[in-house]
Structure 1
Amino acid sequence: MGRRIMIVGNGAVAEGAGAIIDAADFVVRFNLSRNTAQSGRRTDAVAVCNTGRPANEMLDGPEWRDSAPVRGACEIWSVRDPQKFASLRPQLAVSHPELDDFCDDRTEDFARFAAENGKRHRIIPAAVHEAADAALVAHSPGSYVVPSSGLVVLFHVLSEPEFSGSEITLAGFSHEGWDGHPFVAERRLVAGLADAGRVHLIASSSPSLSPSQGA
């Protein structure tokens, strides 16, 4: 029997779902993890947007560094491969000139923070990002900038041998937010993975806290 892996987005979770999340063997949260009080407390890895404004917000102030999820985590995952995002800069300069700082890389700063605090740092490879892009094609994503960090982390866990055979459950995923992510297509993709039994979902509100197989 594989490990139980819980990937917890920053959206709403069902009442009482925190107990299910805390009972997992490995819990991944994201960035500032602002829903931690409602979604349990266990955190083994914090996945971060390691470029642009989100990275600056986390690294340049005390809130992220001093948060309970970051203090409790044993790993920091940089979701954005530096070389991949460097390669995106020229095309974004044309298509999205307002995102002039989107690819500014802070990966080394996250790696330094992790080393100084006894945590493992890993960079999710560009190939994972590209696999997510390829999978989205079948779900009519339209024009978008990049997949969300949640989708990239999900594809990393699904493909990483370290997690092979694990039961993977998602919670706190509303598939809403910045319009540079293809959230409608991501919702369809995740629902398909759930229907195929590759992931389980805990809805944002549910009379039953059993992880569902549906969307």
Structure 2
Amino acid sequence: MHNGRVIMIVGNGDVPEGVGATIDAADLVVRFNDCRSVGKGGGRTDIVAVCNTGRPALAMLGGGRWKTSAPVRQAREIWSVRAATRFAAMRAALAATHPDLDDFCDDYTDGFESFARATARKHRVIEAETHDRLERDLARFSPSPFVAPSSGLVVIADILSGFASSEDHVVLAGFGHVGWQWHPFAAERRYVDSLAAQGRLRRLPPFTSSDLPQGA
């Protein structure tokens, strides 16, 4: 039996057939927003990390379907990925460079906090310092112009910067590093590959469930 936890971070990208049981067997499973990974990517959900600004946040809080979905009902914690003060500070510059993103910095953190409180679960906001440190790290991988790193990458950086202990095993699934044009996905892929090369995390696949340490 290992001492650390298996922390599974499951993005909303493609998850291959046959990995659901491995994901569900982890000690902690983090999913994102509407948790599209549920299904082929198993069902267990301990933490839902949400984009708490702009249109995605408004959609999650506005319709009711997100709040009553199975993974959200199961989750013990809601994490707001974006530090409101940092994104508020971006508003003026974005108005000049990306006028179509006029609602990108609209902050709905209070809505997620209220929802978490009303449903007796923990709400956590990832600190601005995590974003700052991540963007400095990403600069080494020559990103093309971007607005913000993806929520998935912010959560990876946050977990590796202190949430996970040195004995924990951080495993990724469902990260294709493609999507919205203003996330620096090519640089994000290179950054994650460098973390894997350093042994700080692993991707699922290419290894099988038998390669993972078994349960705490």
Q: Which of the five TM-score ranges fits, normalised by the shorter chain?
A: over 0.9
TM-score w.r.t. structure 2 length? 0.93
TM-score, scaled to structure 1 = 0.94
Structure 1: runs of 5+ lacking an equivalent? none
Is the Cα–Cα contact under 8 Å of residues 202 and 210 in structure 1 kept in the other structure? no
Partner residue of 1:183 out of 185, 190, 193: 185
Mapped contact 2:60–2:67 kept (Cα < 8 A): yes
Letter in 2 for 1:144: F
Q: Kindly state the Cα deviation for residue 158 of structure 1 after the two structures are TM-superposed.
A: 0.4
Q: Alpha-carbon deviation of 1:16?
A: 1.2
Partner SS state of residue 8, structure 2: strand
- State the alpha-carbon separation in 2 of the partners of residues 209 and 2 from structure 1: 16
Structure 2 residue aligned with 1:24: 26
User: 2:71, 2:208 → 1: CA distance?
Assistant: 26
Asked if residue 67 in structure 1 is aligned to residue 66 in structure 2, the reply is no
Distance 1:149 1:168, change over 3 A: same
Separation in structure 1 between the aligned mates of residue 119 and residue 91 of structure 2, nearest angstrom: 31
Residues 138 and 127 of structure 1, relative CA distance in 2, 3 Å threshold:
same
How many Å apart are 1:142 and its aligned residue? 1.6
1:14 to partner: Cα distance: 2.0
Say if 1:132 and 1:211 are closer, same or farther in 2 by CA, change over 3 A. Answer: farther
Note the aligned Cα RMSD (angstroms): 1.5
TM-superposed CA distance for 1:80, in Å, is: 0.4
Quote the offset at 1:11 in angstroms.
Answer: 1.0
* CA shift for structure 1 position 190: 0.3
Gaps of 5+ in 2: none
How big is the shift at 1:44?
0.6
Q: Which amino acid aligns with 1:179?
A: Q
Q: Indicate yes or no: 2:13 matched with 1:11.
A: yes
Deviation by residue 1:66-101 (Cα, 9 ceiling, x = unmatched): 111100000000000010111111111111111000
Alignment of 1:70-89 (within 5 A): 70-89=72-91
Decide whether the 8 Å contact of 1:14 with 1:202 is kept in 2. no
**2:31·2:37 contact (CA, 8 Å) conserved in 1?**
no
Question: Percent identity, aligned pairs only?
Answer: 54
1:33-182 matches, within 5 Å, as 33-160=35-162, 162-165=163-166, 166-182=168-184
Q: Which runs of 4+ in 1 moved over 4 A?
A: 206-212
Distance (Å, rounded) in 2 between the aligned partners of 1:207 and 1:74 = 28
Checking the alignment, whether the CA contact within 8 Å between 2:5 and 2:169 is kept in structure 1 is yes
How far 1:208 sits from its partner (Å)?
Answer: 4.7
Partner Cα separation in structure 2 for residue 129 and residue 210 of structure 1 = 34
Structure 2 residue matching 1:142: 3-state secondary structure: coil
What is the deviation of 1:124? 0.1
- Distance in 1 (CA, whole Å) between partners of 2:145 and 2:47 is 31
